[in-house]
Amino acid sequence: MRNKPSIFVTRKLPEAVETRLAGDYQCDFNPDDRLYTGDELVQRADKCDAILCCHTEKFNKEIISRLPKNVRAIANFSVGIDHCDLQAAIAKGIVVTNTPDVLSDATAEIAMLCMLGAARRGNEGFSMVRADRWHDWSPTFMLGKQITGKRFGIIGMGRVGQVTAKRARGFDMQIHYHNRSRLDPEMEQGATYHQQLDSLLAVSDVLSLHCPNNPDSVGLLNADRIAKLPDGAIVVNTARGTVVDDDALVAALKSGKLWAAGIDVFNGEPSEIHPAYRELGNVFVLPHLGSATVETRDAMGFRALDNLDAIFAGREPLDRVA
C-alpha cells in the first residue's frame, strides 16, 4: 500500500480541518500553535511533500530557495499571497495555491462592523460603559454619523468588494468604486465606476479598502489622497495594513479631517501597530478578524485540502497561483 503524502501544517487549524487532514495524510501538526522561525520552517519541511501554511509564515525568496526538493506544494490557508514569493516558488518547481471565494461574506461583515463602529463611536461608547463613566443622557450625548443614504466608495471591486457593496446597499448607500477595470453591468449592480482614483475619493463619505497588497498598493492611502476625501469622511480598512500610510491617517483623525476610521488590519500587526490606534477615541479597531468565523475557517481549510488532494492525484488544483 502506498504511503500517504506527508504534510507540514504550520499553525493549529480548526478541528474539522485537522480531522480530515489526519485521515488523508501523514501530518506534522503544530498543537501548540507556535510561530516558527524561518530556519524552523526549513528544518520541518525536510521530510514533507507539501506545506499547509498561513499568512503568518513568510516564504520569501531566501526561505523558498532553502526548502528541500521533496516539497512539491505550498497550500496557503489564506486568500492573500503577499507572504509568499511566487516567482521563487515557480523557479523551485513548487506549486502554490490559496483559498479564494470562501471568505468574502465574513470579511464583508467585518467591513460593515468597522464602518458602523467608526460612524457611531463604538469604541468611545464601549469604553465609557466598561469604565462606569456613563451617567446620564442628553439630546447631544455621543452623537455619531448616520450612514444611511451616504456615498460608499470602494477601492478594489473584487470578490470581497462586491459582497461589501451588496451589504452597503442594505443601508441605502450609493455605491461608487475604483478598480483596475470596469465590471460588467450585471456585476456592477448600479454602482458608479471611477476610472481615476481621485474621482472616487471626492465622493466617498465612507471609503472602504479592499485592494490586494502589491507594490502598486503600498501606502496607497497617503496624505495627498486623504486630503481629497470629503471633510468628515470615514475610512474602513479590511484589506491589508500596507495600503495605508499610518502617519497620514493618524494626522487626519487627529485634525478632524476624518470623522473616524474602522480598522481590522495593520502595519506591524500584532505587536508593532501605530500607537495612536490604541489611544485615539475615533478609531474602531479589531484584531484581524476578517475571516474569523467557524464556517469560514472550516471552508478555508477544506479549500486548501481540495487543492492538495488535486495535486497528489495528478490534477490541476482549482486555486493555483504559481
Q: Choose, from 225, 240, 274, 297, the residue flagged as catalytic.
A: 240
288 given a catalytic annotation: yes
Helix, strand, or coil (residue 227): helix
Residue 230: what residue type?
A: P
178 given a catalytic annotation: no
Q: What's the rounded Cα separation, in Å, for the pair 321 and 86?
A: 8
Long-range Cβ contact pairs of 118-122 (< 8 A, separation 24 or more) = 118/234, 118/235, 118/236, 118/259, 118/260, 118/261, 118/262, 118/282, 118/283, 118/284, 119/144, 119/145, 119/146, 119/147, 119/206, 119/234, 119/259, 119/260, 120/144, 120/145, 121/260, 121/281, 121/282, 122/284
Q: What's the rounded Cα separation, in Å, for the pair 102 and 109?
A: 13
269 given a catalytic annotation: yes
Q: Choose, from 44, 72, 188, 269, the residue flagged as catalytic.
A: 269
Q: What's the rounded Cα separation, in Å, for the pair 289 and 265?
A: 8
Q: Choose, from 20, 72, 288, 320, the residue flagged as catalytic.
A: 288
Q: What residues act catalytically?
A: 240, 269, 288
